[in-house]
Amino acid sequence: MKQSFLCAFAVVSIIQGAPPKLTADEHILDALKLPVTTPQAFVYPSATLIHDLNKLGACTKSYNAERLPAIQNRPPLFKQYPALQQTLPYISLGNFPTPVQKLTKLGTKIEFNSLYIKRDDLSGYCDATHSKKNNSPWPAGLPWYGGNKVRKLEFELAKAKAHGAQSIMTFGVVGSSSVLATAIYAHSLGMPCIAMTKPQYNSPIVREKLLMHLINGTELHYHPNNPWRDVGTINNWWEHKQLQGNFPYLIPTGVTTPLGTVGFVNAAFELKDQIQKKEMPAPDVIYIATNSMGSMAGLLLGLRAAGMKTGVIGVPVEPYDFNAFKKEMLQLIIQTNQLLHASDKRFPLFNWTTQDIQLNSNFAGQSYALPTPAGSHAVALLKETEKIQLDNTYTGKAFAAMLDDIKKGVWKNKNVLFWNTYCGLDFGKQLNKADYRKLPHCFHRYFNEKGKSK
């Protein structure tokens, strides 16, 4: 460990001439000549840290689109704005379009017959040949992990690949869906993943994801809090260069970048295509869980660009200063809009304010990943009626908010769509053979002190 830290501070010595004290991450940032700012409240580590480490490391190689495979099936956004295909990096990773399904049995039970679900839980491939075709460590008999992050990774991992990155570093809590999806799909593209994690409430889902990391070969690191993870990020970033000969490419929490958010702009155009094919009527409103903001931000921009009048209600999953949350999301929407306009001048620039962002914050609960009674009830109800699995961290809370509004008559005679961002496929049988004791020892406590929340 001591040698590892010295590797990190070698960066400091190169840039400034003498290593700083080890008292706080701000000293390291100062030595690296990076701006020392208050960390963003919702996306951590700070965008500044990630941007500057990428600039110093993985992105020193020039962008070369020839490193990317040819696009076989153009995404709907590229069909509408063809110039984007020439200017934005993209690799097809997911099984799209994901189905829309009418929740008939649930609708009967709650006496609401115009309720639909967008099933991003099915965004991963389920055929046994996919792992072999991609030369991935992911077992051939195991379905590919899906969920909403696959849409973002189609753009963000393509950028990493175009820059010649040989490995990926990403961030999240121990049971993060974003970290797991990034690790699986990065590895399938020949870029092994380093996961910089921090604690969260224990649950069967957390243990399942740790075992999935084990079989995927993810390099897992554990940090007690955000400041220590910043220190660990710089440490491992530098150490990887010394041991592997290359700097990892950094992808932030939730794959929340303007480029990653384009994945959900594309999702809005995908939904428009399904409506035109009469797979469902145009929804009056979409409910979606939101935390790192990218999915909701992309939908808002995409729906407006697609000329749809559908509203979006985001359901935060932990307590925030929600005014600050809206301001943060507003900046992400504006930056994504500017990126798309710069990439294709035909893509319009819209005027945005925080009034365009609707949140239902009544179901966030007391903390991240801590179940709520309403959320747990919503998870059980959808499982009982439609055999679709939600989770207590994100989608259960969002589904509970939607059910409450329906019960109050807010959407009487309207079409409501729930966007399922969680991959609830059953991986249990294949994971039973995995031995958690092969994980780094710091993760063993999640198996020795088993939480009960789903």
Does any domain span residue 305? Answer: yes
Does any domain span residue 39? Answer: yes
pLDDT over 70 (residue 127):
no
Query: Do 58 and 204 share a domain, yes or no?
Result: yes
pLDDT given for residue 133 in this prediction: 53
Query: Do 213 and 271 share a domain, yes or no?
Result: no
Query: Do 219 and 101 share a domain, yes or no?
Result: no
Q: What is the 3-class SS of 260-282, one letter each residue?
A: HHHHHHHHHHHHHHHHHCCCCCC
Phi and psi at 176, nearest 5°, equal -65, 125
pLDDT-wise least confident of 94-103, 231-240, 309-318: 231-240
pLDDT given for residue 44 in this prediction: 55
For residue 364 the two structure tokens come to: 């966030």
Does any domain span residue 426? Answer: no
Does any domain span residue 234? Answer: yes
pLDDT over 90 (residue 72):
no
Does any domain span residue 364? Answer: yes
Does any domain span residue 336? Answer: yes
Query: Do 100 and 167 share a domain, yes or no?
Result: no
Does any domain span residue 71? Answer: no
pLDDT given for residue 59 in this prediction: 60
Residue 347 or 246, more confident: 347
The domain spanning residue 241 has which CATH number? 3.40.50.1100
Task: Record the pTM.
Answer: 0.89
Does any domain span residue 38? Answer: yes
DSSP string, 363-422: T--SSTT---HHHHHHHHHHHHHH-----TTTHHHHHHHHHHHHHTTTTTTS-EEEEE--
pLDDT given for residue 1 in this prediction: 42
What's the full length of the chain, in residues?
Answer: 454
Query: Do 92 and 184 share a domain, yes or no?
Result: no
pLDDT over 50 (residue 47):
yes
Question: What's the total number of domains in the chain?
Answer: 2
Query: Do 280 and 408 share a domain, yes or no?
Result: yes
Q: What does the pLDDT look like over 146-195, one tens digit per residue?
A: 999 999 999 999 999 999 999 999 999 999 999 999 999 999 999 999 99
Rounded mean pLDDT, 7-25:
36
Distances (CA, A) of 200 to 183, 445, 450: 19, 12, 13
pLDDT over 50 (residue 43):
no
Model confidence at 29, in pLDDT bands (50, 70, 90)?
Answer: very low
For residue 282 the two structure tokens come to: 């145009």
pLDDT-wise least confident of 29-43, 87-101, 307-321, 345-359: 29-43
Measured between alpha carbons, how far is 370 from 376 in angstroms, rounded to an integer? 10
Question: In which domain, by residue range, is 328 found?
Answer: 83-126+257-420
